[in-house]
Amino acid sequence: MRRVSLQQLNWEQYQADFNALAAIGQNAEGGMDRLGYGEADQAAHKLLADMAVEAGFEVKWDGAGNLWITRRGEEDGNPDFPPILLGSHMDTVPNGGKYDGLLGVMTAFHAMRLLDRVPQRRTVTLIVFRCEESSRFNCATIGSKLLAEQLTGEMLKRYVDKDGISAYDAIRELGGSPDNLYLERQYIKDSFGFIEMHIEQGPVLNDRRTDIGIVSHIAAPHRFRITVEGAAAHSGACPMDARQDALTGAAEIILAVERLGRQYAEKRIVATVGKCDVVNGAMNIVPGKVELYVDIRGIDREVISEVVTKLHQEMSAIASSRNLRIDPAILSQETPVKLDDDMAEFLVEQCLKNMLTFLHMTSGAGHDTMYMAKLTRSALFFVPCEKGISHNKEEAVADDAVQNGLRLMFSTLVRICTLDPQEEREKAEMDRMLLEEAYQ
Ligand SMILES: [Zn+2]
**Residue 278 belongs to some domain of the structure:** yes
The Å distance, Cα 233 to ligand 1 centre, comes to 45
Give CA torsion, residues 322, 327, 331, 332, to 10 deg: 80
The Å distance, Cα 367 to ligand 1 centre, comes to 7
Contact indicator for 119, 74 with CB cutoff of 8 Å:
yes
The Å distance, Cα 127 to ligand 1 centre, comes to 14
Using alpha carbons only, give the angle 16, 206, 373 rounded to the nearest 5 degrees.
Answer: 75
**Residue 363 belongs to some domain of the structure:** yes
- pLDDT for 2 equals 63
The Å distance, Cα 142 to ligand 1 centre, comes to 13
The Å distance, Cα 366 to ligand 1 centre, comes to 8
Residue 365: give its domain's CATH number.
Answer: 3.40.630.10
Contact indicator for 365, 101 with CB cutoff of 8 Å:
no
Considering the domain architecture, whether residues 167 and 33 belong to the same structural domain is answered as yes
Considering the domain architecture, whether residues 186 and 143 belong to the same structural domain is answered as yes
The Å distance, Cα 88 to ligand 1 centre, comes to 7
CA distances from 44 to 48, 68, 102, 153 (A): 6, 14, 10, 24
Q: Indicate the residue among 290, 310, 333 that finishes a domain.
A: 333
The mean pLDDT value for 343-358 works out to 96
The Å distance, Cα 391 to ligand 1 centre, comes to 9
Q: What is the tens place of the pLDDT at every residue in 22-36?
A: 999 999 999 999 999
Map residue 289 onto helix, strand or coil. strand
pLDDT of 97 strictly over 80: yes
Considering the domain architecture, whether residues 285 and 404 belong to the same structural domain is answered as no
**Residue 116 buriedness (CB in 10 A; 0-12 / 13-18 / 19+):** exposed
**Residue 292 belongs to some domain of the structure:** yes
The Å distance, Cα 53 to ligand 1 centre, comes to 25
The Å distance, Cα 392 to ligand 1 centre, comes to 12
The Å distance, Cα 398 to ligand 1 centre, comes to 17
**Residue 385 belongs to some domain of the structure:** yes
The Å distance, Cα 250 to ligand 1 centre, comes to 32
The Å distance, Cα 96 to ligand 1 centre, comes to 10
Considering the domain architecture, whether residues 16 and 132 belong to the same structural domain is answered as yes
Map residue 163 onto helix, strand or coil. coil
The Å distance, Cα 89 to ligand 1 centre, comes to 7
Alpha helices in 166-243 (DSSP H): 167-173, 182-189, 204-208
Strand pairing category for 58-61 and 67-71: antiparallel
Residue 254: give its domain's CATH number.
Answer: 3.30.70.360
The mean pLDDT value for 132-144 works out to 92
The Å distance, Cα 193 to ligand 1 centre, comes to 20
Q: Indicate the residue among 333, 359, 379 that finishes a domain.
A: 333
> What is the value of pTM for the model shown?
0.87
pLDDT of 422 strictly over 90: no
Considering the domain architecture, whether residues 13 and 82 belong to the same structural domain is answered as yes
The Å distance, Cα 99 to ligand 1 centre, comes to 8
Q: What percent of the chain has pLDDT over 70?
A: 99
The Å distance, Cα 418 to ligand 1 centre, comes to 30
- pLDDT for 333 equals 84
* Rounded-to-integer distance, Cα 164 and Cα 30, Å: 28
Considering the domain architecture, whether residues 153 and 282 belong to the same structural domain is answered as no
**Residue 437 belongs to some domain of the structure:** no
**Residue 433 belongs to some domain of the structure:** no
Considering the domain architecture, whether residues 312 and 369 belong to the same structural domain is answered as no
Considering the domain architecture, whether residues 150 and 41 belong to the same structural domain is answered as yes
Considering the domain architecture, whether residues 357 and 323 belong to the same structural domain is answered as no
The Å distance, Cα 216 to ligand 1 centre, comes to 17
Considering the domain architecture, whether residues 288 and 384 belong to the same structural domain is answered as no
The Å distance, Cα 198 to ligand 1 centre, comes to 7
Q: What is the tens place of the pLDDT at every residue in 202-245?
A: 999 999 999 999 999 999 889 999 999 999 999 999 999 999 99
Assign 426 a pLDDT band (cuts: 50, 70, 90). confident
Map residue 109 onto helix, strand or coil. helix
* Rounded-to-integer distance, Cα 274 and Cα 191, Å: 39
Considering the domain architecture, whether residues 209 and 229 belong to the same structural domain is answered as no
The Å distance, Cα 129 to ligand 1 centre, comes to 10
Terminal CA-CA length for the chain: 36
The Å distance, Cα 132 to ligand 1 centre, comes to 7
Q: What is the tens place of the pLDDT at every residue in 296-345?
A: 999 998 999 999 999 999 999 999 999 999 999 988 888 899 999 999 99
Range of the domain at 296: 220-333
Task: Work out the mean pLDDT of the chain and round it to a whole number.
Answer: 94
The number of distinct structural domains making up the chain is 2
**Residue 347 buriedness (CB in 10 A; 0-12 / 13-18 / 19+):** buried
CA-wise closest residue to 349 among 204, 195, 214, 192: 214
The mean pLDDT value for 182-191 works out to 98
**Residue 435 belongs to some domain of the structure:** no
Map residue 437 onto helix, strand or coil. helix
Q: Indicate the residue among 304, 333, 362 that finishes a domain.
A: 333
The Å distance, Cα 247 to ligand 1 centre, comes to 35
pLDDT of 1 strictly over 60: no
Assign 100 a pLDDT band (cuts: 50, 70, 90). very high
Considering the domain architecture, whether residues 248 and 193 belong to the same structural domain is answered as no
The Å distance, Cα 44 to ligand 1 centre, comes to 15
The Å distance, Cα 95 to ligand 1 centre, comes to 14
The Å distance, Cα 202 to ligand 1 centre, comes to 12
**Residue 1 belongs to some domain of the structure:** no
The Å distance, Cα 91 to ligand 1 centre, comes to 8
The Å distance, Cα 118 to ligand 1 centre, comes to 30
Q: What is the tens place of the pLDDT at every residue in 239-267?
A: 999 999 999 999 999 999 999 999 999 99
